[in-house]
């Protein structure tokens, strides 16, 4: 940047004068930046609400399915088996007898002929493992053989390992049950390799799990995880176990899980209601606009913080989208569910959830906040779990989910979600337009500044010329 020497002839503080004139040109840019900051704050406030809406939607989504609202728990009283129930499982007591677990085909050999030396010195060897040809290069050690076998595991289904302590090679199929098999044979080349591996056998098969269940004997499964009458069983290895193992299976309603999920929903719903109420009623201080760069330079850090607290306030005051969302959610939770069998629960109040504190009138001042009578909810879950499930899955959960999802769609269109890079929301588009306009205006500032410097430079030249002429005339007159 060239050095500018101004005011030499005129004596004027042209730097200050140009700076003041440039301020007039910067004012529209400052206003655009202030508007940009206000929109950014507003967008962030909307996105915060959108995130809370999404979290509530995720919670209420789980209550739309019987797997949550009609959850069952299973106890077995043993470590030999774990079990989980589905919504279709009927509560009751059942008997399971485990005769054997499913296992994979396995071949564990004896000590190899050499732990570090080659096993096929006469040339390359081709082995066939489960119908797949595998070439073992000449002079391969036990580790080399294992590496070559494992390179074909995706085709053979067989995993090989070598233990240097026991000096044994082990082959294991990656499946259990009737489809698990290992067949290994020499095909060509150095026939001593298979002998030197000392596997002891050329084939092995896996075994199925065999159980009796509630009077039905000899049920077989290829894996140790299987499902019987809505119960998911997983057999577990037990050290020193003696088969058969008799297991008493008890299925009951998991009221704690359902209770906790419903309680979590009420809590998140009330958090959202409180936040919406706070944001839509927050005071708006229009005299506190976002600070310009020059204003920030003249203020202390704590002064900036206090100013911005006022400037950010009321970004969502009286917002129609949020207030409408609360009204619709309140309506969705107050109207009874239709289409249920006569005598069934058809209101949330039937299971201890209401919009007023117990013993009081409807609390409109709470803006639809929910109150939970935990004792009443537990009683409903313990005595009529199916009715509680129907009330939620066939009514309230789905209703509320749809209302929240509609609001999320509107907020995302308005301000984006903050979780995607491609944000074409209305507010983001406004910010991009302001970015472009600020860039154009800013690039024009230098042209104005250069013009003013040139004008003052011309003035300086003119004054300098006049001063020179005046001095010459004075000299002429003084010499007469």
pLDDT at 5: 46
pLDDT at 238: 82
DSSP 3-state assignment of 319?
coil
Classify burial at 96, counting beta carbons within 10 Å of its beta carbon; exposed 0-12, middle 13-18, buried 19 or more.
Answer: buried
How does pLDDT run across 444-470, given as a tens digit for each residue? Answer: 667 666 666 676 666 666 666 776 666
Question: Can you give the length of the chain in residues?
Answer: 480
| Cis ω for the linkage preceding 244 (within 30 of 0) | yes
How does pLDDT run across 352-362, given as a tens digit for each residue? Answer: 998 765 554 44
Q: What is the reported pTM?
A: 0.67
The gap from C-alpha 424 to its chain's centroid, in whole angstroms, comes to 21
pLDDT at 226: 96
Task: Please name the residue that has the structure tokens 């240097």.
Answer: 164
| Residue 9 reports pLDDT greater than 80 | no
314: CB partners within 8 A, 6+ apart? 282, 283, 284, 285
Q: How far apart are CA 197 and CA 70, in angstroms?
A: 56
Q: How does residue 422 score in pLDDT terms, banded at 50, 70 and 90?
A: low
How does pLDDT run across 103-114, given as a tens digit for each residue? Answer: 999 999 999 988
Classify burial at 359, counting beta carbons within 10 Å of its beta carbon; exposed 0-12, middle 13-18, buried 19 or more.
Answer: exposed
How does pLDDT run across 31-88, given as a tens digit for each residue? Answer: 888 899 999 999 999 999 999 999 999 999 999 988 888 888 999 999 999 999 887 7
366: CB partners within 8 A, 6+ apart? 273, 355, 356
pLDDT at 438: 82
How does pLDDT run across 356-393, given as a tens digit for each residue? Answer: 655 544 444 566 789 999 999 999 998 998 899 999 99
For 94, the token pair is 């059942």
The answer to whether residues 224 and 81 touch, using CB atoms and an 8 Å cutoff, is no
pLDDT at 31: 86
Q: How far apart are CA 107 and CA 40, in angstroms?
A: 67
- Cα–Cα distance list, 110 to 92, 105, 142, 201 (Å): 50, 17, 12, 10
For 195, the token pair is 């002998």
The answer to whether residues 105 and 258 touch, using CB atoms and an 8 Å cutoff, is no
Pairing of strands 371-372, 104-111: unpaired
Q: How far apart are CA 52 and CA 454, in angstroms?
A: 57
How does pLDDT run across 64-78, given as a tens digit for each residue? Answer: 988 888 888 999 999
How does pLDDT run across 178-192, given as a tens digit for each residue? Answer: 999 999 999 999 999
């Amino acid at each position: 940047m060239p050095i500018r020497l101004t005011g030499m002839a005129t004596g004027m503080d042209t730097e200050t004068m140009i700076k003041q004139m440039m301020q007039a040109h910067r004012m529209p840019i400052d206003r655009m930046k202030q508007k940009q900051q206000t929109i950014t704050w507003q967008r962030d406030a909307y996105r915060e609400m959108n995130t809370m809406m999404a979290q509530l939607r995720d919670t209420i989504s789980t209550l739309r399915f019987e797997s949550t609202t009609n959850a069952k728990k299973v106890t077995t009283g043993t470590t030999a088996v774990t079990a989980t129930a589905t919504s279709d499982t009927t509560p009751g007591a059942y008997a399971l007898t485990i005769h054997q677990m499913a296992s994979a085909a396995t071949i564990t050999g004896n000590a190899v002929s050499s732990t570090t030396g080659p096993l096929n010195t006469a040339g390359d060897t081709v082995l066939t493992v489960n119908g797949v040809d595998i070439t073992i290069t000449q002079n391969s050690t036990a580790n080399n053989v294992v590496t070559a076998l494992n390179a074909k595991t995706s085709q053979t289904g067989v995993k090989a390992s070598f233990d240097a302590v026991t000096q044994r090679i082990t082959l294991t199929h990656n499946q259990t049950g009737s489809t698990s098999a290992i067949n290994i044979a020499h095909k060509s080349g150095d026939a001593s390799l298979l002998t030197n591996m000392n596997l002891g056998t050329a084939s092995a098969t896996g075994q199925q799990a065999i159980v009796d269940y509630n009077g039905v004997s000899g049920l077989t499964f290829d894996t140790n995880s299987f499902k019987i009458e809505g119960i998911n069983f997983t057999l577990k290895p037990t050290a020193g176990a003696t088969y058969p193992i008799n297991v008493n299976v008890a299925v009951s309603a998991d009221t704690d899980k359902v209770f906790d999920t419903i309680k979590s929903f009420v809590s998140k719903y009330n958090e959202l209601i409180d936040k919406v109420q706070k944001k839509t009623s927050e005071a708006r201080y229009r005299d506190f606009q976002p600070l310009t760069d020059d204003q920030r330079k003249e203020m202390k850090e704590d002064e900036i913080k206090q100013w911005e607290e006022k400037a950010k306030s009321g970004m969502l005051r009286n917002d129609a989208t949020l207030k409408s969302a609360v009204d619709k959610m309140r309506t969705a939770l107050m109207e009874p569910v239709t289409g249920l069998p006569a005598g069934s629960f058809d209101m949330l109040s039937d299971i201890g959830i209401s919009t007023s504190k117990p013993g009081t009138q409807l609390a409109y001042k709470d803006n639809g906040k929910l109150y939970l009578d935990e004792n009443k909810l537990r009683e409903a879950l313990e005595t009529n779990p199916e009715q509680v499930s129907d009330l939620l899955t066939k009514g309230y959960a789905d209703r509320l989910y749809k209302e929240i999802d509609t609001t999320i769609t509107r907020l995302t269109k308005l301000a984006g979600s903050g979780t995607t890079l491609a944000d074409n929301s209305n507010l983001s588009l406004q910010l991009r337009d302001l970015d472009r306009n600020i860039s154009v205006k800013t690039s024009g500032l230098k042209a104005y500044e250069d013009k003013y410097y040139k004008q003052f430079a011309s003035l300086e030249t003119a004054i300098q010329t006049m001063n020179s002429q005046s001095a010459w005339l004075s000299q002429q007159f003084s010499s007469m």
